[in-house]
Structure 1
Amino acid sequence: MASMGLNLEEQKAVDRFRKEVVEPSMTSLVVLDFWAEWCGPCKALTPVLEKVCGEYADKGVVLAKINVDEEQFIAAQFQVRSIPTVYAMFQGQPVADLTNARSESQLKALLDQLLSQLPVGGPDEGTAEVAQFIEMGEAVLAEGDGVRAAGIFAQVVEMAPENPAARAGLIRALVAAGKIDEALAAADALDETLSADSGVKAALSALELAGDRVDEGELQTLRAAAAERPTDMEAQLAFAEAAYAAGQRDEAADALLAMVQHDREWNDGAARAQLVKIFEAVGLEDPWVVATRRRLSRVLFG
C-alpha cells in the first residue's frame, strides 16, 4: 500500500499494515483476520485460526489480525462488508479468501493447497531478480515511458510466466504505449488463476477503458456535444469515456461527477460505475483517485 495523498492518520494506518502484514508476507503466507470485539462469530473463529496457524508456523504461515473498529481505513481498502473476513496474503497481495473456512479441516485444506502453489519460505535468487525487474518496470511506467516499460515486463513474463504482477504490468504498459491490440493479446493469454488476481483485474479495467479511445477530432465533437447538452446523459457518458481513454482524466471525472449529481440512478448508476472502474484501473491508493473519491463522497453524501 502506498501512502501518497493520504492524511496523517491514514498514512499511519498504512505504515502499520505494511509492517505487520505486507513485510511478513514477502516470505510467509499471512492469514489476515478482520474482526471486532463485538463480533460473536469472530470469537468462535479465533481459536481455530490461532490453532491451525500455530501448527503451520514451521511451514511459513503466520496470523495477523485487523480490528475493523481501530483500522477502518484498512478495512475499507479491502472492501470488508461483514466480519469475520479472512484473507491469505502473499508478497503483499491477497491470494485467497479464507472466510468460509470455519473448521480446522477446511482451513488446513486451503492452506495446504496454497502452500503447494506458492514459493513460501523466502525468495530464491530467481525470485529476487524477478521482483527487481518488476520494480524497475513500474518505475519506468510511472515516468510515462510505456514502450520501455512494456519491454521490461515482457522479459519478466518470459522469466516468470505465472507472476501476476508481471502480467498486470505488461498489460498496463502496453495500454500506456497505445498498443491496444498487443494488450488484448496479453490479456487473452491469461489463465483463470491469473485473471482472478486483483492487480491483473485492475490492468484489465485499464485495458477496457482504453478501448474507448477516439481520434482528436471525434473527441472534440463529443466534448462539444456534452457542453451543448448538459442534461443529455448519453452524451455526457460518451464524452467521459472518450476523455479518459485520451488521457484527460480530470475532464472525464468532472463529467461523471456532474452526472452523478444530476441523476445518480440513471442507467442503473452507470456514471458511478464508470468512476469506480476508473479508480480500479488507476489504483485505489493513487493520489488522484483518493482526491476524486472524496469528491464523489461529497456528491453522494453532502
Structure 2
Amino acid sequence: MSGAVDLTALKERADAQRQQAQRPNQTPRPAPPTDDGAPASGAAHGGAVLDITEATFETEVLARSQQQLVLVDLWAEWCEPCKQLSPVLEKLAGQAQGSWVLAKVDVDANPRIAQAFRAQSIPMVVAIAQGQPVAAFNGVRSEAEISQWVGEILSQLGDVLPGAAPVDAEPEADDPRMVAAEEKLNAGDFAGALDDYRAIAEAEPQNVEAASAARNLEFVLRAQAHDPAIVDTAAPADVDAQLAAADVLLLAQQPEAAFDRIIAVVKVTAGDDRTRARTRLLELFELFDPAEPFVVSARRKLATALY
C-alpha cells in the first residue's frame, strides 16, 4: 500500500514541531504512571508499546522502521472495537522480543496521522517498514490471526530492515505536467486542468499534490453547477438534493452547516444511501486540514451517527 500513502508531510511537520520545542539542557523524562500507579504502556512492555504524536511520528515510527517493523495502531477513546483490539496488540508486542514494536496513535489528538493513512474507519493497524506502509487491516482480529499476519510480513521482509539507511534524494525539478495543468487553470480552462490533474493522480497514486488539486477542482465545478436555492428547497428524504445543498453551503464558506446536512442524512438512511452520504462527507473532509476544529467535530458526529 506504499504507493497510495504519502507520509512526507507528517515527517516535515514533526521536524518543525521538534525544532520549535527544543530547549538547551533538556533531557527526556520517563513516561508518567497511569492513574492506578502502574507504569505507562511502553514501560510495562519494555518499550515495545509507544504512544505516538504528530511531533514524535518521524522519529518513533518512520526512523525506527528503518531498523525494525513498526505496527501503527489507530484508535480513539470512543471506539469500542479499539478497546478490544489494543490489549491484544500490546500483549503480542510485549512478546515479540524486539522483532516489532507497537505505535499507538489517538486519531482525535493526532488527526493528521489518520489523514495521512486515509483511515476511514478504526481500529486500523498499519505495518511500516523502511518508512513506508507495507500492509494494513481494519477491525478486530484474534491474537492468532494477528500473529500469523505479522509473521507473514516479517517473513517477506527477510533481512531488508537491519542496517537500512535512508538515501538523500536530489531536489526534483518542477513536473512539466503539473505546470501545464496550472497554466490551464490560470487561463480559465477548468475542465482541461481537471483532466490533467486526474491523469497525473491516476498514473501516480502517491502524487498528493495532483490528487488534492483534482479533489478541489472537482468540488468547485460540482458545487457551482447546483442551483443555490437547493439549500431551501431540498426535501429531507431526497439524498441527492441534500448532498447538493451541502455542496452549496460549503462553497459559501459554511462548512459546519454543510457537514451537518450530510450527517443528518446518515442518521435517517441505510444501505446504499447511507454509504453514499458517508462517502461524500469523507470526500469533503479531505478538502480541509484534518486538524480544523469543525472537521474534528464533524468526524465525531459522524462516528456517533454510524455507531
* TM-score (ref. length: structure 2): 0.52
CA distance, structure 1, for counterparts of residue 55 and residue 94 of structure 2: 29
Partner of 2:72: 34
SS of the residue aligned with 2:223? coil
Q: Which runs of structure 2 are paired with 1:116-131 in the superposition (5 Å)?
A: 121-124=166-169, 126-127=170-171
**CA offsets, 1:221-268, max 9 Å, x none?**
322322xx3343332122223443565433421321222233355614
Partner of 2:128: 87
Instruction: From 159, 164, 175, give the equivalent of 1:157.
Output: 175
Give how far 1:42 is off: 3.9
Partner of 1:271: 277
- Is 1:14 aligned to residue 59 of structure 2? no
Instruction: From 260, 268, 275, give the equivalent of 1:262.
Output: 268
CA distance, structure 2, for counterparts of residue 200 and residue 110 of structure 1: 31
Instruction: From 139, 156, 160, give the equivalent of 1:106.
Output: 156
Give how far 1:275 is off: 0.8
Give how far 1:190 is off: 4.0
Q: Any unmatched runs of 5+ in structure 2?
A: 1-9, 15-50, 74-85, 138-148
CA distance, structure 2, for counterparts of residue 13 and residue 238 of structure 1: 36
CA distance, structure 1, for counterparts of residue 266 and residue 300 of structure 2: 14
Q: 1:32·1:88 contact (CA, 8 Å) conserved in 2?
A: yes
Partner of 2:103: 66
Instruction: From 210, 219, 223, give the equivalent of 1:213.
Output: 223
Give the length in aligned residue pairs.
Answer: 226
Give how far 1:188 is off: 0.7
SS of the residue aligned with 1:15? coil
Residues 88, 183 of structure 1: alpha-carbon distance in 2 compared, 3 angstrom cutoff: farther
Give how far 1:197 is off: 6.0
CA distance, structure 2, for counterparts of residue 295 and residue 14 of structure 1: 23
Q: 2:128·2:134 contact (CA, 8 Å) conserved in 1?
A: yes
Q: Which runs of structure 2 are paired with 1:242-253 in the superposition (5 Å)?
A: 242-244=248-250, 248-253=254-259
- Is 1:237 aligned to residue 243 of structure 2? yes
Partner of 2:48: none
- Is 1:182 aligned to residue 185 of structure 2? no
Residues 109, 67 of structure 1: alpha-carbon distance in 2 compared, 3 angstrom cutoff: same
CA distance, structure 2, for counterparts of residue 264 and residue 179 of structure 1: 35
Q: Any unmatched runs of 5+ in structure 1?
A: 4-10, 51-62, 131-154, 162-166
CA distance, structure 2, for counterparts of residue 197 and residue 72 of structure 1: 26
Residues 284, 267 of structure 1: alpha-carbon distance in 2 compared, 3 angstrom cutoff: same
**CA offsets, 1:14-73, max 9 Å, x none?**
333344235x38x958743237563499459945x73xxxxxxxxxxxx763147x8886
* TM-score (ref. length: structure 1): 0.53
Residues 277, 72 of structure 1: alpha-carbon distance in 2 compared, 3 angstrom cutoff: closer
Partner of 1:57: none
CA distance, structure 1, for counterparts of residue 123 and residue 299 of structure 2: 22
Q: CA RMSD in A?
A: 4.8
Identity value in percent: 18
CA distance, structure 2, for counterparts of residue 12 and residue 109 of structure 1: 26
Comparing 100-109 with 235-244, greater Cα deviation is found at 100-109
